[in-house]
Amino acid sequence: MRTRLCDVLGIEVPVIGAPFGPFDQVEVAAAVCEAGGLGSLGTAVRPLPDLRRQWARMRESTDRPFAINHTLRPLNEEAFEATLAERPAAVSFHLGVPEDLVRRAHDAGVLWIQQVMDVDQAGQAVRAGVDVIVAQGGEAGGEVSTMVLVPQVVDVAGDIPVVAAGGIADGRGLAAALALGAQGVVIGTRLLASVEMRIAGEWKERIVAADARDTIKLAHSDRYLPPFSRPGAYGVPRSLRTPFVEEAEEHPERVDPEEAGPRLLEAMRGGRGHEFLPFTGQSAALVHDVLPAAEIVRRTVADAEAVLRRAAGACAPPAPR
């Protein structure tokens, strides 16, 4: 399976692994790359020396294209400048469309993958001249369902490849995304439940056991997550429930931002993030086991091809008698 997305990014299959913020994901990203997709590395709240070590490990693990992600929650200018010097295949970005940063990446010869959460942001991305647009639906961190958002974004994107994100965990999701006009998918929650992902086993087990309704939008996350570094940026993640999440959503006034923020960051850096904020999308309902990341990518593509063949057969005219 090959689409225009593959040609733009220099990959073999139209699958992008989602970046996972502060978590070390070198092994899972490298495995996605080796399976023909585009692996991603997050940068959020990690010090630059740590990021440089991750990038070096990634280079040692694969010689295939990969992306380094940044966000406006907040933007680490030092890390962004170092990313451009590192020259990954692409910078991926979400929680805002920073036209000035897009220009800087292009000046450095680096492609730009822009995540959007509504059609207005998609228009901003087109005007900024991005190379790929990721349409993230409400099943993940967006506000509009993936089924509705993707065709809207495709309609305004023109020749820019659109990638679907949110609610996609298997080949049926990839096939559906292609039918909606997308050129590929971003897989997030399914890769959290991979062998290589460095999160607590308890978090993976909760993903496998979860129903779609077990994940909730963190409507009051601004009280404890890092602030946005530019006006107009926004985003509301999803998480499985924990005592902290229940308290913060039901009684946000009881959360002290000065205390909660540092405590959460310390827990995430120490591998205990799942105790407070186990970020997870609704596609957890489609995750039934923990698998190697490369197998997840291969199964997704193979199953999508099978789904599309069955669909084509179902729509074929009856054979003449």
Residuewise pLDDT in 10s, the chain (321 residues): 999 999 999 999 999 999 998 889 999 999 999 999 999 999 988 899 999 999 999 999 999 999 999 999 999 999 999 999 999 999 999 999 999 999 999 999 999 999 999 999 999 999 999 999 999 999 998 889 999 999 999 999 999 999 999 999 999 999 999 999 999 999 999 999 999 999 999 999 999 999 999 999 999 999 999 899 998 888 899 999 999 999 999 999 999 999 998 898 888 877 788 999 999 999 999 999 999 999 999 999 999 999 999 999 888 777 677
pTM: 0.96
With beta carbons less than 8 A apart as the criterion, state whether 73 and 233 touch.
yes
User: What stretch of H or E contains 90?
Assistant: strand 90-94
CB atoms inside a 10 Å sphere around CB 93: 27
pLDDT of residue 83: 98
pLDDT of residue 321: 72
Burial (Cβ within 10 Å: 0-12, 13-18, ≥19) of residue 65: middle
Of 202, 236, 209, 194, nearest to 37 by C-alpha is 194
What tokens does 294 get?
């490369």
CB atoms inside a 10 Å sphere around CB 316: 8
Going by the DSSP 8-state scheme, the letter that residue 279 receives in this structure is B
**Do the bridges between strand 15-17 and strand 184-187 make them parallel or antiparallel, or are there none, so unpaired?**
parallel
Question: Residues, the chain, total?
Answer: 321
Burial (Cβ within 10 Å: 0-12, 13-18, ≥19) of residue 39: buried
Of 121, 149, 152, 115, nearest to 134 by C-alpha is 115
With beta carbons less than 8 A apart as the criterion, state whether 89 and 99 touch.
no
pLDDT of residue 169: 98
With beta carbons less than 8 A apart as the criterion, state whether 224 and 248 touch.
yes
Q: Give the distance between the most distant pair of CA atoms in the chain.
A: 76
pLDDT of residue 212: 96
With beta carbons less than 8 A apart as the criterion, state whether 164 and 135 touch.
yes
Please name every residue paired with 111 in a beta bridge, in sequence order, or none if there are none.
90
What tokens does 26 get?
């070198």
